[in-house]
Chains A and B, each alone.
Chain A
Amino acid sequence: MKRTSLYGLHLSLGAKMVEFAGYEMPVQYPDGVLKEHLHTRAKAGLFDVSHMGQAFLSTTRTAQGSDAAHADISDAIETLLPGEIRKLKKGGMRYSVLLNAEGGVMDDLMVTRPPHDADQGSLFLVVNAACKDADFAHIGKSLAGRASLKIAADRSLLALQGPRAASVLNAIVPGCASQTFMTMAPYDWNGVPLIVSRCGYTGEDGFEVSVPDAKAEELARAMLAHPDVAPIGLGARDSLRLEAGLCLYGHDMDTTTSPVEGNIAFALGKRRREEANFPGAKRILAELANGPRRLRVGLKPEGRAPAREGTDIVDENGAKIGVVTSGGFGPTLNGPVAMGYVDFSHSKTGTAVQLMVRGKPLPASVVDMPVVPHTYYRG
């Protein structure tokens, strides 16, 4: 099993390690999932997300450092995803999805346009750990002859999330607190090249910091030295993103679900819809026009019992209308919360449904996501 460069740090912090996407990762520290979750929402949590895939995609057709080079690399990656990359501002980043020919989601990812003129023509990509080998093979093969993919196998990724994240990180990396949500900037941290992105997977304000492996533990320890920062494991990462209504690939989306069904139609750029030139455009545009067969929705069980992944969703007559794809207990909500796919006819906010938990129908309703509001920093 693989280990991240913070493996030793996790053990020294008393983490309980589990297998995740081929890596030995901390699922929780001695504080436990509940306290870690609440700490992140109250102060700041440090997550090791080094198992995720980082890569730089660069055009091989045009010399780096011009707007033409950016247009070139954008045109290349836009053949694989439905997002507006060409018009991204310098230093801007976008959430998008790699699509197969049927419009199914192969993975979700972050695509970042570097801020500096000299770097135009490259994009910084961050993809899911479980999909990274397949994603990078797909991108490399599909764009052969027009772009080269350099996998950043020597970089770690640390996420610092929560209302105190900006003040904590700004003391270590001066200037980052002025970055707005979904922007990236490179920094020199004592001679170490950092890539700091203001984004995350908790619904909170926060950052993801790409750092060379050799300096990752030093940076993590610098963050942990602040009394507001606690290490947070995958358990709380999951409950935080669930409350924030964010998809976990392989659970809430897979190769059979389209971005419209997945309720992430915001990731379909306006120009891209008009041009209709992304994989699976026919299906996806038809779903946009006519409504999808099914839709990912938020679900709020009425009682205290959590409804877990795989729970059937039925209508008032007991007929199956969908299935829970993520579900559990939301510590901030102090109650159960779930998301899942339901037939489009039952997807309207407020629709009463029943969740079949251990053979018993539990009343629940379709709710807007996120159930815990996002607190992103928009300047």
Chain B
Amino acid sequence: MTVKYTKDHEWVRLDGAVATIGVSTHAAEQLGDVVFVELPAVGKTFKKGDDMAVVESVKAASDVYAPISGEVVEINQAIVDDPAKVNADPQGAAWFVKLKPSNAAEANELMDEAAYMAFADSH
């Protein structure tokens, strides 16, 4: 159940047939206080790299991209109702969506924790 990361600072955790997706701690720190989150509808399908969600701080809006392809099977309404949760626990309770991957092998192309940490330090 390893966590993989994208260059756009999403994380994805594959757990059997479900991929849980969110934004990294580094991304949450860079965004600052999150004040708005928009999530896709359950049932929507995305290709890897598609705009999937939106997260906004006081100052700016950022897109959240699908780290892998799949269909949305669950969304985390709690972060829509209380966006500050994204800052509090971005890689835990404040996950964004759960996907049913259409090609789980796509995750192999993503960075592991160590590679992402090195990448995030320079971005």
Where the two chains meet, the residues of A that have a C-beta atom closer than 8 Å to any C-beta of B are 27-28, 32-35, 37, 235-236, 238-239, 304-306, 308, 328-329, 331, 336, 358
Contacts and interface: CB of A to CB of B under 8 A. Distances in A.
Contact of B58 (A37, A304, A305, A358): A37
A28 B29 CA distance: 12
Contacts of A331: 35, 58
A37 B36 CA distance: 17
A35 B32 CA distance: 10
Contacts of A34: 32-33, 35, 58
B112 interface: no
21 contacts: A27-B59, A33-B33, A33-B57, A33-B58, A33-B59, A34-B32, A34-B58, A37-B58, A239-B58, A304-B36, A306-B61, A308-B60, A308-B61, A328-B58, A329-B35, A329-B36, A329-B57, A329-B58, A331-B35, A336-B36, A358-B54
A235 B60 CA distance: 10
Contact of A305 (B33, B38, B57, B59): B38
B56 interface: yes
Interface string B98-111: 00000000000000
A308 B38 CA distance: 15
Interface band, chain B: 10 to 19
B120 to A, nearest CB: 16
A32 B32 contact: yes
Contacts of B33: 32-35
Interface class of chain A by DSSP: mixed
A27 B58 CA distance: 12
A337 to B, nearest CB: 11
B117 to A, nearest CB: 20
Interface class of chain B by DSSP: strand
Contacts of A308: 60-61
Interface of B: 32-33, 35-36, 38, 54, 56-61
Nearest to A234: B59
A28 B36 contact: no
A94 B60 CA distance: 32
Closest 5 CB pairs of A and B: A34-B33, A329-B35, A33-B58, A329-B58, A32-B32
A235 B33 CA distance: 12
Nearest to A331: B58
A150 B36 CA distance: 47
A305 B59 CA distance: 13
A340 B32 CA distance: 25
Contacts of A35: 33
Contacts of B58: 33-34, 37, 235-236, 239, 328-329, 331
Contacts of B54: 358
A139 B32 CA distance: 41
A239 B60 CA distance: 11
Given A34-B35, A329-B56, 4 more contacts: A32-B32, A33-B58, A34-B58, A239-B58
A135 to B, nearest CB: 27
A34 B56 CA distance: 12
B1 to A, nearest CB: 32
A37 to B, nearest CB: 7
Nearest to B57: A33
A306 B35 contact: yes
Contacts of B59: 27, 33, 235, 238-239, 328
A329 B58 CA distance: 5
B95 to A, nearest CB: 20
B50 to A, nearest CB: 13
Contacts of A306: 35-36, 56, 61
A282 to B, nearest CB: 40
A90 B61 CA distance: 46
Nearest to A304: B36
Contacts of B61: 306, 308
Contacts of A358: 38, 54
Given A33-B57, A239-B58, A306-B56, A28 B38 contact: no
A138 B38 CA distance: 47
Residue of B35, B54, B60, B61 with most chain A CB atoms under a 10 A cut-off:
B35
Contacts of B60: 308
Nearest to B84: A34
Contacts of A28: 32
B97 to A, nearest CB: 17
A234 to B, nearest CB: 9
Nearest to A329: B35
Nearest to B32: A32
Nearest to A308: B61
